[in-house]
């Protein structure tokens, strides 16, 4: 990743960039910790046949994972459909 590689310039140019990256990463970690602490309240989840209690942060993580997996699955299905469509079109052109 070129973001962490030392540029070809002098060391003075590298130091401010390194400190900016380190400060940015620390701020992101602090924000994530605050997000988890603020969303640690228990909530009741009602399903059709039963209900349960869970922490709000676990619900967020579960929904993010479901959304991520759905996106990956959807993109793979779209890619496969396009490839099959191209193959069928290629076969039709070869037959004519």
In whole numbers, what is the pLDDT of the chain averaged over residues? 84
| pTM listed for this prediction | 0.58
Question: How long a stretch of residues is the chain?
Answer: 96
How confident is residue 27, by pLDDT bands cut at 50, 70 and 90?
A: very high
CB 4 within 8 A of CB 21: yes
Per-residue pLDDT reduced to its tens digit, 42-58 = 999 888 899 999 999 88
pLDDT at 68: 96
% of residues, the chain, pLDDT over 70:
83
Under DSSP, the state recorded for 16 is H
- Domain locations along the chain: 1-38, 42-96
CA atoms of 62 and 68, how far apart (whole Å): 10
Residue 91 has pLDDT above 80, yes or no: no
How confident is residue 11, by pLDDT bands cut at 50, 70 and 90?
A: low
What distance lies between CA 62 and its chain's CA centroid? 13
């Amino acid at each position: 990743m070129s973001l962490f590689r030392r540029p070809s310039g002098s060391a003075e140019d590298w130091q401010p960039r390194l400190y900016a990256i380190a400060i940015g990463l620390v701020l992101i970690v602090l924000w994530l910790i605050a997000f988890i602490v603020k969303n640690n309240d228990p909530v009741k989840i009602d399903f059709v046949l039963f209900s349960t209690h869970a922490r709000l942060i676990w619900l967020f993580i579960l929904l993010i994972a479901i959304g991520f997996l759905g996106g990956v699955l959807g993109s793979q299905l779209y890619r496969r459909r396009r490839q099959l469509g191209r193959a069928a079109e290629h076969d039709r052109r070869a037959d004519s």
